[in-house]
């Protein structure tokens, strides 16, 4: 197993070999964000801005305006913390920057809430032209990177630190905005993105003994296709969103708005982080916040009742 940031680092070098306009803007985190192999192979296309994210975002916007496809990488929390710079220099310039936010969610563990990307999706979703991507496994990372290299939209790529198993079947094709069913079921549908997708799949497996067979949907890019979500939600009695993010502004809001518009809407429940987070071993944090497989299974069991 590998993490989405590891797959990102490998895919970045591959797409950079193919596409000359791919460049990297770094904020002293090349090792942690896995852009170091890119730096070693393409030193002339690697711009070190130091611990100065605001300037890095502006520099990336300027590079994008001149035809490059810059990937500016840092912890998601630090990058999206420069919201006003992203709003203006990237968003209002419609500059084709890829903001790469790593260490999404609670998984950074003992470093605690000042490093945890728990509000990043919420911030990015307030910008109408910025697209959000969060891959659930290696196959999806590689396809997303090909998509991002050839696309021009301002984008936010949310990556995880924890190792994740492959959740997609062979032949999976990533398409922007299209939710993908990774496990077919009935009665309850669970929407997840990124690192919570494999955990939700594992939770669904545990529920079989209770006679509950949830459908698990990977929503790996936003804004999501409304009709597709409506069809999936409408085909179930219960809809649940599970996300490793603050409970306001993330996937729950996205799915909730669609569910709210359904004529015979299913019951809707959200399992997400309700506070600032805290320091601790990742596995204990996920247990505490009920975002491990046991917690998700218990939550879905309650929701399905």
Partner 1 sequence: MRGEGVVAGPAEHADPARIARLATRCRLVLLEMIHRAGSGHAGSSLSCADIISVLRFDRMDWSADRSGDVFVLSKGHAAPAWYAALIVGGDLPAEEVGTLRALDSRLQGHPDRTRLGLVDVSTGALGQGLSVAVGRAVARRLHGRDSTVYCLLGDGECQEGQVWEAFLYAGANRLSGLVAIIDHNDSQSDGTVGDTLPLRPLPDKLRAFGWDVAQVDGHDHGELRDALRRRDPGRPSVIIAHTRKGRLGPGRVLLDGSHSDLPSPAEYAAAVDYLETLLECGA
Q: What is the smallest separation between the CB atom of 35 and partner 1, expressed in angstroms?
A: 17
Nearby residues of 43 by Cβ (< 8 Å), 6 or more positions away: none
Query: 84 vs 181, which CB is nearer to partner 1?
Result: 84
Under rule CB under 8 A, which residues in 38-77 are in contact with partner 1?
A: 44-45, 47, 49-50, 52, 54-68, 70
Interacting span for partner 1 (CB under 8 A) from 93-101, 161-169, 190-198, 207-215 = 93-101
Residue 2 vs 93, nearer CB to partner 1:
93
Question: What is the spatial distance between Cα 189 and Cα 266, in angstroms, rounded to a whole number?
Answer: 10
Query: What minimum distance in Å lies between the beta carbon of 68 and partner 1?
Result: 6
> In angstroms, what CA-CA distances link 152 with 43, 71, 98, 147?
23, 12, 9, 10
Cα 189 to chain center, whole Å?
Answer: 19
Pick 50 or 223: Cβ nearer partner 1: 50
Among the residues of the chain, which ranges form H helices?
Answer: 4-18, 30-33, 36-41, 53-65, 76-81, 83-85, 120-124, 138-150, 196-206, 226-234, 251-260, 282-288, 293-304
Shortest distance in whole angstroms from residue 148 CB to partner 1: 18
Number of residues located near partner 1, criterion CB under 8 A: 32
Q: Is residue 162 within 8 Å of residue 291, measured between CB atoms?
A: no
Cα–Cα distance for residue pair 234/259, rounded to 1 Å = 8
From the CB of 150, what's the least distance to partner 1, in Å?
19
Are 168 and 4 within 8 A, CB to CB?
A: no
How far apart CA 34 and CA 138 sit, in angstroms, is 14
The residue (of 20 and 111) whose beta carbon lies closer to partner 1 is: 20
CA distance 209 to 56: 51
CB of 283 to partner 1, least distance (A): 38
Q: Which residues, 2 to 21, sit near partner 1 by CB under 8 A?
A: none
Residue 72 CB, shortest distance to partner 1, in Å, is 10
For partner 1, the closer CB: 1 or 51: 51
* Residue 88 in contact with partner 1, rule: CB under 8 A: yes
Closer to partner 1 by Cβ: residue 12 or 285? 12
| Cα dist from 188 to 180, 194, 217, 295, whole Å | 15, 20, 11, 16
Q: Positive or negative, the Cα torsion across 240, 246, 247, 252?
A: negative
Based on CB atoms, which residue is closest to partner 1, 45 or 245?
45
Of 2, 93, 115, 213, the one binding partner 1 by CB under 8 A = 93
Residue 295 has a CB neighbour count (10 Å cut-off) of 18
CB of 49 to partner 1, least distance (A): 6
Which of positions 155-214 make contact with partner 1 (CB under 8 A)?
Answer: none
Instruction: Closer to partner 1 by CB, 94 or 166: give it.
Output: 94
Which residues bind to partner 1, rule: CB under 8 A?
23, 44-45, 47, 49-50, 52, 54-68, 70, 84-85, 87-89, 92-95
């Amino acid at each position: 197993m590998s993490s989405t940031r590891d797959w990102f680092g490998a895919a970045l070098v591959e797409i950079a070999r193919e596409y000359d306009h791919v460049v990297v803007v770094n904020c002293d985190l090349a090792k942690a964000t896995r852009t170091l192999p890119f730096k070693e192979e393409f030193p002339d296309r690697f711009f070190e801005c130091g611990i100065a994210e605001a300037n890095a975002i502006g520099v990336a916007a300027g590079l994008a305006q001149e035809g490059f496809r810059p990937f500016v990488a840092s912890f998601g929390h630090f990058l999206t913390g420069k919201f006003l710079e992203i709003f203006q220099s990237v968003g209002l310039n419609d500059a084709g920057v890829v903001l790469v936010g790593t260490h999404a969610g609670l998984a950074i563990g003992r470093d605690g809430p000042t490093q945890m990307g728990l509000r990043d999706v919420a911030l990015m979703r307030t910008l109408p032209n910025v697209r959000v991507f969060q891959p659930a496994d290696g196959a999806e990372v590689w396809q997303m990177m090909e998509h991002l290299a050839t696309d021009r939209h301002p984008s936010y790529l949310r990556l995880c630190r924890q190792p994740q198993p492959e959740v997609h079947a062979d032949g999976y094709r990533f398409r922007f905005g299209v939710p993908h069913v990774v496990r077919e079921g009935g009665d309850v549908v669970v929407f997840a993105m990124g690192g919570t997708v494999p955990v939700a799949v594992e939770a669904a497996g545990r529920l079989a003994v209770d006679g509950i067979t949830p459908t698990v949907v990977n929503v790996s890019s936003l804004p999501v296709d409304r009709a597709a979500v409506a069809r999936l939600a409408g085909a179930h009695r219960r809809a649940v969103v599970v996300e490793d993010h603050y409970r306001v502004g993330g996937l729950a809001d996205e799915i909730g708005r669609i569910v709210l518009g359904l004529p015979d809407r299913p019951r809707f429940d959200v399992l997400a982080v309700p506070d600032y987070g805290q320091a601790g071993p990742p596995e204990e944090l996920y247990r505490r916040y009920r975002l491990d497989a046991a917690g998700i299974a218990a939550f879905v069991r309650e929701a399905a009742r």
